[in-house]
Chains A and B, each alone.
Chain A
């Protein structure tokens, strides 16, 4: 509770209006595309509205002004002094960086994309649905202040889709921060550049020149109101479909002009892009299991053509209400440390500001989550994973409908095909995902997870693949369910009614899972109360001043909610056991992942656990990070990367907390 107090003054995170959140209606934009000429569409008159303060300039002029900026010149001079090199050489270097990085927005490329993407999208997707009210608000915002677009990141399609949509609605095309890996793709890299992408190296922490040039490049475009800036808070595509914890670097760069009052305000626009079926679903599963991801290459893209014959269902893009940075900062960052320092000096962000940036990042991700559309399949996958290896179709429909009610009660944004009866809705979902599930003799089964004997490594791998793919859909539900569910897990773990105990267990869980799920920093109590509120609303629990009691009716719900998060609980337990038994003195992350993978494979092969998800490298890394955070594992910097050692004393405490009363198979514990 104390943790919350430091930020209580700030109304950054308002408890969502859980009762009846009004959301906009969707429009399918592909419908029109299917009826009229793509060529004419690509050649249409494109005159987007622009920022009122825009001083029109070409991409090359932007590069020049970046290079000549006080900020960059200052760093160049500093470096030249320190390294004893002439400023000319460093300036050359800066020019190279700029050329490598800079976008080259070009209407021709955009028209090319508009044409070809129309073709591709129409083949891939049934519908592309957009909330037009959100578009209108965005259009308004673009004219008023610089705009930063913050979409969720699940697929490469994300930024193509977004640019495509903005083109469709005659809005200014964004410039997009993209990873350098794209540049490796011949032609495509250049095309992306011409359609507004600019490229950043994945890591450039130590390179001050790169940082200065990059930051100034982004800020110049923002200040000029040249175009909306788009980047992904999550930093990379989420392989698990869970929202990744935010990265702060770019966000703090785009917020800086406001902190320095170089702009009056900046709009942050959270955008939620949800896919009924993710293009890269199997790729991600392989990756999570340690089969390395193929490098981006044009030929790879061409090979991927075969997916063009596949059906990927609908996409929902929800443009959230533009959030005024000034409004967020009001009362928190009214005065800036920049008042006493020239604004062009590179300055470390003060703690206040860092905290603020963090809060904004989390707030934006929570807004993304709030407007993420959940398809029926997400519910089906969640039910299915709790009923492996197979479930009766009728029962599946029944349970899915039950879960639909629960999801809506928890404020999930469900798009349920109202015109179809439940049976048909489920059937069509199953059909869309036939690569993962099949209907066999009235039983719904997850492919490759049939009851077969034998547990060769290959079989385990195949099963894991299916479960991880399926899990990626269930995961979409988790951030909506996490608060009530963790209360349910805490209730189960503690086997107690005392509110205080349950709350402290909740805090522990929230903390250990804070890399897995998105929690607004420092408000554990609010999260707990929200969880309790939702459970009370659904008649699952009764809360008295001292106690929390599970109602008789609510027991099954509580069990379901706890089970939803069991893979994570179990996964972390297994990892904690691995750490206690198996590890050498110091280990690297790589060694850890290899080790845990072998350990888990053994467990799975022997049948002593069914927790296939422990094989996910995402979960493994998150767990390691969590243990580091809890001081159970010590992280040390060495010459080539980091090494880890287990802190034995702390370790036992945490392991005990994790293990307490978790009904995993007793057998396992016994045998180990």
Chain B
């Protein structure tokens, strides 16, 4: 299932920790982890480091930069040691991503679901709360819900066969120019394949069983804004196609290379542009290179006692630039806002030149906001290189929670009321019954008889004493953040509202496990793929009054389409409300089915996904809330934003990039 944007609520490299704990403790844990990851590197003295960088910025202004604007002088848009020399800022994800990430699935090499010798499911590795645990009921759930069987296994290729990979065709003159810039690059097959895809189901399927028709010819790693300027200039000079690459977590086919692209395709990997250039504590902003990935950003800001609070589900891997380019949304947007609320300033390199605003102000009335041409442009206009983003002090206190509702309708009504009173916690999510049961399938083996007794008691209380139908009830998971006192007060307010809708508080642990599920589910897809089960997620936003109808109809449509397409076992089709707004909500769907007996599962799957999207649109939902359009949902753009709207976007593209250098063909 989807992958994507699955987040690791608990920032991945951390050791398992207790639910509610003072932030200070968390900070130190983070620092420790960071130290471990960076090998005690320079991350430990951020302030000094920062000062140094600012100085060097003053000293070495790049000759390529244009008319110096006041704030430009302060902004070190060039790399520390000049050119593309490796810098000491350590990222969790190395330049050679394949060293720690799976080449044909989601996440880290060391983390995956397996069935152990006893036939029990287990999650390997040490990175997550669930790591190293046995999940005794997962197997039964897979058999019952998806009709999967351990006897029917289909494994992926064990390694990438480099002879299958399309050859790299790069013209020698360009290579000479490129070498002259000293910017790092690679033409190796593994590097190129790794950047030829996102995490859509069909992409992963191809990795496991086939090969892409077209992949990037060369991967280039700029080290700073100026490097990007040089690369874009070279691309214009040699007429190349650039596809920017951030964290590679796209689920909209945005990274897929157009099969008929004849020009050399450059994958512009921003991962080495990952410095926090400065932090402005007076205005609570930070200026950051766009290639930084979410977990590194939060960890490094944490060292100074700050956070952005932007936590999309994919934050372990996705990058700041990617968030800007896709209009990302974070789980805790209720406190911190979505990316469009967080961004104060953006610098983007386009074939026309660099676009940015002249000041870093909270708001301005200077015609349409140019940031809104950039946000959601999905790599069609240029590369985002630097971003000034709002930061907040790390909250003192954090607490999970959960509420059980007798049915989904009541749960939605409660979320609506909470949104109406504008008292939503940092995060509030409502999962339907199917997902609730799925959550139970991921319960680790209980440590003691006492816990299992307690679980039994709780279940008895809810179903027998309170009369909730176990096949109807659903759960909301909550995350509160802030001052300890305010959090407790806030918590009470929310639980009081919930009670009016028949909701019963169901404990912190359920809440936390709910959030954990979000990142685990992405790993789970790889397990499913081994047993003829394919799945995906998709999302939408919808006005409040249509939430229930949309959820029901889309799920029903999936079931119906599966039946019509000859899927033999009823699909797993489930949804959750993941964000609340004043005027509506964001709804996230998962669906998975067993494809044994179907000759072309990907085709069938795509038809069903398309039908589901049609259903969403017919029900008054949007084309996308935060995944973006990419190439996967392009066909509906016109009806989504009208002919004129599309024409406006096209004319911007026409002006900014007349030769289609940024030729990933997303969106338009």
Query: Which residues of A does B touch, CB under 8 Å?
Result: 260-262, 264, 334-336, 338-339, 342-343
Contacts and interface: CB of A to CB of B under 8 A. Distances in A.
A335 B639 contact: yes
Contacts of B639: 335
Contacts of A261: 546, 549-550, 553, 618-620
B530 interface: no
Most buried by B among A261, A339, A343: A261
Given A261-B550, A264-B557, A335 B545 contact: no
A172 B618 CA distance: 31
B396 interface: no
B545 A334 contact: no
Contacts of B550: 261
B622 to A, nearest CB: 10
Given A335-B639, A342-B545, A343-B545, A264 B552 contact: yes
Interface in B605-625: 614, 617-620
A445 B422 CA distance: 85
B557 A335 contact: no
Nearest to B557: A264
A335 B545 CA distance: 17
A596 B552 CA distance: 58
24 contacts: A260-B549, A261-B546, A261-B549, A261-B550, A261-B553, A261-B618, A261-B619, A261-B620, A262-B549, A264-B552, A264-B553, A264-B556, A264-B557, A334-B614, A334-B618, A335-B617, A335-B618, A335-B639, A336-B618, A338-B620, A339-B620, A342-B545, A343-B545, A343-B546
Nearest to B639: A335
A336 B545 CA distance: 16
Interface string B613-647: 01001111000000000000000000100000000
Contacts of B545: 342-343
A634 to B, nearest CB: 42
Contacts of B618: 261, 334-336
Given A261-B549, A264-B552, 17 more contacts: A260-B549, A261-B550, A261-B553, A261-B618, A261-B619, A261-B620, A262-B549, A264-B553, A264-B556, A264-B557, A334-B614, A335-B617, A335-B618, A335-B639, A338-B620, A339-B620, A343-B545
A385 to B, nearest CB: 50
Interface in B573-625: 614, 617-620
Contacts of B617: 335
Contacts of B546: 261, 343
**Closest A-B pairs by Cβ, 5 of them:** A339-B620, A261-B619, A264-B556, A264-B553, A261-B549
A533 B182 CA distance: 80
A335 B614 CA distance: 9
Contacts of B614: 334
A261 B545 CA distance: 12
A261 B621 CA distance: 11
Interface residues of B, number: 14
Contacts of B549: 260-262
A264 B553 CA distance: 5
A343 B639 CA distance: 20
Contacts of A339: 620
Most buried by A among B545, B546, B550, B617: B546
Contacts of A338: 620
A577 B549 CA distance: 58
Contacts of A335: 617-618, 639
A338 B621 CA distance: 12
A262 B409 CA distance: 13
Contacts of B557: 264
Contacts of A260: 549
B113 to A, nearest CB: 33
Interface string B541-567: 000011001101100110000000000
A335 B550 CA distance: 13
Contacts of A342: 545
Contacts of A336: 618
Interface in B517-557: 545-546, 549-550, 552-553, 556-557
A264 B639 CA distance: 22
Contacts of A343: 545-546
Nearest to B620: A339
B173 to A, nearest CB: 51
A335 B556 CA distance: 18
A614 B620 CA distance: 53
B200 to A, nearest CB: 24
B553 to A, nearest CB: 5
Contacts of B620: 261, 338-339
A412 B215 CA distance: 63
A528 to B, nearest CB: 35
A568 B619 CA distance: 48
A600 B546 CA distance: 60
Nearest to A343: B545
Nearest to B619: A261
A336 B552 CA distance: 18
B332 to A, nearest CB: 30
A264 B549 CA distance: 8
A262 B620 CA distance: 11
A342 B618 CA distance: 14
A336 B618 CA distance: 7
A375 B552 CA distance: 47
Interface string B338-381: 00000000000000000000000000000000000000000000
Nearest to A334: B618
Nearest to B407: A55
A246 B618 CA distance: 28
Most buried by A among B553, B557, B617: B553
A626 B620 CA distance: 42
A336 B620 CA distance: 8
A91 to B, nearest CB: 23
Nearest to A257: B549
A353 to B, nearest CB: 14
A100 B639 CA distance: 45
B610 to A, nearest CB: 12
B480 to A, nearest CB: 33
Nearest to B559: A264
Nearest to B552: A264
B645 to A, nearest CB: 15
A260 B545 CA distance: 11
Contacts of B619: 261
A342 B620 CA distance: 11
A262 B546 CA distance: 8
Interface string B377-412: 000000000000000000000000000000000000
A621 B553 CA distance: 45
Nearest to A329: B618
A395 B593 CA distance: 68
Most buried by B among A264, A334, A343: A264
A338 B545 CA distance: 12
A650 B78 CA distance: 86
A262 B549 CA distance: 6
Nearest to A223: B549
B528 to A, nearest CB: 27
A17 to B, nearest CB: 22
A335 B642 CA distance: 14
B551 to A, nearest CB: 11
A440 B113 CA distance: 92
Nearest to A260: B549
Most buried by A among B545, B546, B553, B618: B618
B70 to A, nearest CB: 46
A335 B549 CA distance: 15
A336 B549 CA distance: 14
A222 to B, nearest CB: 14
A217 B54 CA distance: 71
A669 B619 CA distance: 63
A503 B421 CA distance: 68
Contacts of B552: 264
B644 to A, nearest CB: 16
B60 to A, nearest CB: 55
